[in-house]
Amino acid sequence: MNLTAAGILWRIALGNVWRNRMKSLIVGFILFLGTGIIVFGNALVDAVDDGMTRSVTQSVSGHLQIYSDDAKDKLALFGDQFAGMPDIGNIPDFHGLAEVVRKVPNVKAVIPMGIDFALGFQGNEIDRWLQRLRAAVRAGDEPMIAQRRDEVRAVVERVFNELKGAAALVAAGGEYAEDMKAAERAASPEFWAAFDQDRLGNLEFLENRIAPLEQTLGDVGLMFLGTDLASFEKNFDRFELVEGSRVPEGQRGFIFNHGFYEEVMKHRVARDLDKIKRRMEEGYTFEADAEIRSWRDQMAGQYRRVLFQLDRQAGERIRDGLRTLLGQASGELPDLLQSFLKVDDATFAARYAWFYENVAPHIQLYAAQIGDTIPLQAYTKAGYSKSINVKVYGTYKFKGLEKSDVGKMFNLVDMVTFRDLYGLMTPERRAEVAAIRERAGLKDVKREDAEAALFGGTAAVETTAQATGFDEFGGDGGAKVERSQADQKFEPTEIERGVALNAAVTLTDPTKLVETRAAIQDALKAAGLKMRVVDWKEAAGMMGDLVTVARTVLWVIVVIMLLVALVIINNSMVIATMERVKEIGTMRAVGAQRSFIAALFLAETTVLGLLSGGFGALCAAGGIMLWGKIGLPAQNAFMTFLFSGPRLYPTITFSHLFAAVMLIMFFALISTLYPAVLAARILPRVAMAEEG
């Protein structure tokens, strides 16, 4: 086809598009819509991809992660599909690995890591007072003993008064009567007058008879990430200290995740008040929302958690304050606290403020305060439990991820403490276990044949033994254990010299991730280190798969939509072809070749596709630019993580527009092929016959 013919073709095509306006409008609208959706979808997924990349790489994973090639499971920083922590083996000598990786070009930092889980035991409010008194007695600090003894006495008196309130139960006898008797004794002046004569004995009486009268709080599970804290802060931009201070160099220390600290470690009543406040800020009211009323009722039932934490003076002050606030001339603290906590729409704001101003300073607002030393207990790799005292230095957050569950997941601890809690099985320990077994002559019995092995013979099940006195402390059985010291220091070089479970690698130029990954893998192999190097998406486990899933879902939707469009366009064109038989026949009669007719149809679709697709892409671009200014709000914690903040701000690029128009053009032309072939087959005489 020469240039003249091409010119004629495009002119006719443009004319036909205009002449067949109705058909062009239908097909054009479909192409317009399709292009818009592709542009929107692609920009959205790219924005989520980018958000998640930032959430993960700037908070925990870095750009690459390295872990043992002998790992049983794949690394999943945020847990695997079974919501557990995978077994990823360990890097026995982190320093050796880091030395190799740091030499690879584009590597900015290599940070040791390990994730583990510890338990924190809470006891109950009375247990806490008694622990404080026991610590003072242990230390022999007389002024402190006197002060804490009076505090405990005030709490015990409250327990007694509370129990008196359950007079009907006490009258029924049984355990209540015994409890009442114990509480009466503990609250009596005689008990306290004689307390100092046998402090430890009296403490045990209080611990075993009085403390159980209050409900015990559940254990707290703490997930922690052991790392080089200074390097972590330096290399993960999202890290921000919220309260307290950094852990000094060479010092053991613990930093709570601020979200976790507020939602788990905070006093139950304060937490409930915060939760109600957040709900009310979302527009809910006590009058209209049953859930908020239910929270309020549960909170009022927790008044003893406040009552038993107040010392005598604070209790009297709050009692007087509540009498004024509630307009009650009399009334005792337990009743006043319950009335106070029965908030409604009219009273909530004022009481919330009153609580934080007048009550919070006198209670233990967090189960562990900043500056406290807390015991962390974990099950070590060696199989034994290990407890360590560690000082809490502060709280931190990942900027922008405050509301995301993933952003609240990890508390931080220094690498040396982590290693102690992780506790690998050493040859010495293995030998010790073997010696214990050998001495006891233990036989391993398997489940499958236990009954046959144990009861299949005729051996007597009952024998007579002789009492054998023994001294359990005669040998080395009385070995003394070193007390874990929270202020124990270590050489900063120790952080690197030892085991890590995985290593995070940050890059100077993240766009060269693929090449750098390959270079690191090669360097490790050359150094004889059997390690896996994975990118952040793989390291994030299920989280990393989400973007791939989101993108796949989008493309499935787009392809389905395009297939529908293909059918509609095809039908429209076929119908239009049938309506244009005479016109096509005439063209054929005046010498138009079949190829010209087919090209004409394709040209018409191209014109329509470019106009509609282009217009659709521009409209979508405008929409995204507007959306990018306003931001799409994250509706829940998970979306906050995906969006890398409270709102998603998508951006548009030329590639989004170009790809969408090209794709829509491709589908439009495919759907025009059949009508074009049909039209090309029309013979001039058919058109004439129609004329006739």
Q: Which is nearer to other proteins, 474 or 591 (CB)?
A: 474
Beta carbon nearer to other proteins, 26 or 119: 119
The count of residues interacting with other proteins (CB under 8 A) is 76
Tell me the closest approach of the beta carbon of residue 194 to other proteins, in angstroms. Answer: 18
Residue 240 vs residues 401, 415, 418: alpha-carbon distances, Å: 11, 19, 21
| Contact mark string toward other proteins, 134..153, x via CB under 8 A | x-------------------
Rounded CA-CA distance 405/83 in Å is 13
Select from 437, 489, 497, 530 the one that contacts other proteins (CB under 8 A).
437
Q: What is the DSSP letter of 62?
A: B
Query: Which positions from 363 to 402 touch other proteins by CB under 8 A, shown as an x/- string?
Result: ------------x-x-x-xxxxxxxxx-------------
- Which residues, other chains included, contact 427 with Cβ-Cβ below 8 Å and sequence gap of 6+? none
Q: Which is nearer to other proteins, 265 or 576 (CB)?
A: 265
- Range 172-201, binding other proteins (CB under 8 A): 175, 200-201
Of these, 361, 470, 526, 635, which contacts other proteins (CB under 8 A)? 470
Closest approach, Cβ 394 to other proteins, in A, equals 21
- Per CB under 8 A, contacts with other proteins among 17-46 are none
Rg (CA), the chain: 37
Judging by beta carbons within 10 Å of its beta carbon (0-12, 13-18, 19+), is residue 270 exposed, middle or buried? buried
The minimum distance between CB 132 and other proteins, in angstroms, equals 12
The one-letter amino acid code at 418 reads F
Among 290, 480, 629, 654, binds other proteins (CB under 8 A): 480
Burial category of 396 from C-beta neighbours within 10 Å (exposed 0-12, middle 13-18, buried 19 and up): buried
Q: Which is nearer to other proteins, 466 or 511 (CB)?
A: 466
Q: Shortest approach of other proteins to residue 464 CB, angstroms?
A: 6
Q: Are strands 411-414 and 254-257 parallel, antiparallel or unpaired?
A: antiparallel
Shortest distance in whole angstroms from residue 412 CB to other proteins: 20
Nearer to other proteins, 459 or 514 (CB): 459
Of the candidate residues 3, 22, 442, 630, the single one contacting other proteins (CB under 8 A): 442
Tokens of 202: 């009296």
Q: Which is nearer to other proteins, 251 or 671 (CB)?
A: 251
**Options 146, 167, 436, 559; binder of other proteins; rule CB under 8 A:** 436
Smallest distance, Å, CB 442 to other proteins? 5
Applying CB under 8 A, does 204 fall inside the site for other proteins? yes
Beta-strand ranges (E) seen in 121-258 are 220-227, 239-244, 254-257
Q: Is the dihedral of CA 293, 298, 304, 310 positive or negative?
A: negative
- 207 vs 237 by CB, closer to other proteins: 207
Q: Kindly report the CA angle at 256 between 68 and 216, in degrees rounded to 5? A: 110
* 175: nearest Cα among 320, 668, 183, 465: 183
439 binds other proteins (CB under 8 A): yes
Nearest distance from C-beta of residue 382 to other proteins, angstroms: 5
Which of 168, 290, 330, 447 is in the footprint of other proteins by CB under 8 A? 447
* 319 sits near other proteins (criterion: CB under 8 A): no
Residue 174 or 361 having the CB closest to other proteins: 174
Using CB under 8 A, which residues numbered 582 to 641 contact other proteins? none
Examine residue 445 and tell whether it contacts other proteins (CB under 8 A). Answer: yes
- What residues numbered 46-105 form the site for other proteins, per CB under 8 A? 72, 87
CB of 388 to other proteins, least distance (A): 7
Q: Which is nearer to other proteins, 282 or 476 (CB)?
A: 476
For other proteins, the binding residues in 259-278 under the rule CB under 8 A are: none
Question: Which member of 212, 250, 623, 684 binds other proteins (CB under 8 A)?
Answer: 212
Among 427, 469, 591, 692, binds other proteins (CB under 8 A): 469
For helices 333-341 and 290-300, the axis angle rounded to 10 degrees is 170
User: What is the C-alpha to C-alpha distance for residues 192 and 625, in angstroms, rounded to an integer?
Assistant: 74
DSSP 164-200: HHTHHHHHT-HHHHHHHHHHHHHHSHHHHHSGGGGHH
**Does residue 454 touch other proteins according to CB under 8 A?**
yes
| Distance (Å, whole) CA 322 – CA 331 | 9
Nearest distance, CB of residue 63 and other proteins, angstroms: 31
List all residues 6 or more positions away from 646 whose beta carbon is below 8 Å from its beta carbon.
Answer: 400, 403, 633, 634, 640
Which of 455/654 has CB closer to other proteins?
Answer: 455
Instruction: Give the dihedral sign, CA 46/48/52/55.
Output: positive
Residue closer to other proteins, measured from CB, 209 or 246 = 209
- For the record, the structure tokens of 79 come out as 């847990």
Tell me the DSSP string of 599-619: HHHHHHHHHHHHHHHHHHHHH
The single residue among 69, 184, 287, 451 that binds other proteins, judged by CB under 8 A, is 451
Q: Buried (b) or exposed (e) across 367-395, using 16+ Cβ within 10 A?
A: bbebeeebebebbbbeeeebebbbbbbbb
Does position 209 interact with other proteins (CB under 8 A)? The reply is yes
Q: Is 6 helix (H, G, I), strand (E, B) or coil?
A: helix
Report the candidate in 506, 504, 499, 531 with the shortest Cα–Cα distance to residue 415. Answer: 499
- Would you state the torsion angle of the CA atoms of residues 362, 366, 372, 373, taken in this order, to the nearest 10 degrees? 140
Binding segment toward other proteins, per CB under 8 A, in 12-20, 147-155, 203-211, 523-531 = 203-211
Q: Whose Cβ is closer to other proteins: residue 338's or residue 377's?
A: 377
Helical H runs in 363-426? 415-422
- CB nearer to other proteins: pick between 380 and 586: 380
Residues 112-131 that bind other proteins (CB under 8 A): 121, 123-124, 127, 131
Of residues 353, 450, 559, 567, which one binds other proteins by CB under 8 A? 450
Residue appearing with tokens 């319950």? 338
Interaction between residue 488 and other proteins (CB under 8 A): no
Site for other proteins (CB under 8 A): which residue of 161, 216, 364, 521? 216
Per the listing, tokens 């005439």 go with: 586
**Residue among 216 and 358 whose Cβ is closer to other proteins:** 216
Nearest distance, CB of residue 138 and other proteins, angstroms: 8
Does position 468 bind other proteins by CB under 8 A? yes
**Residue 634 Cβ vs other proteins, minimum distance, rounded to whole Å:** 38
Q: Does 208 bind other proteins (CB under 8 A)?
A: yes
Q: Which long-range contacts (CB under 8 A, 24 or more apart) does 664-667 make?
A: 664/31, 664/34, 664/35, 664/38, 664/562, 664/609, 664/612, 664/613, 664/616, 665/606, 665/609, 665/610, 665/613, 667/34, 667/562, 667/565, 667/566, 667/569
Does position 482 interact with other proteins (CB under 8 A)? The reply is yes
State both tokens at 674.
């059949």
Q: Is 281 in the site for other proteins (CB under 8 A)?
A: no
Q: Which is nearer to other proteins, 3 or 481 (CB)?
A: 481
Binding other proteins (rule: CB under 8 A), the pick from 2, 4, 324, 466 is 466
Burial of 648 from C-beta contacts in 10 A (0-12 / 13-18 / 19+): buried
Which of 3, 83, 193, 467 binds other proteins (CB under 8 A)? It is 467
Q: What is the DSSP letter of 466?
A: -
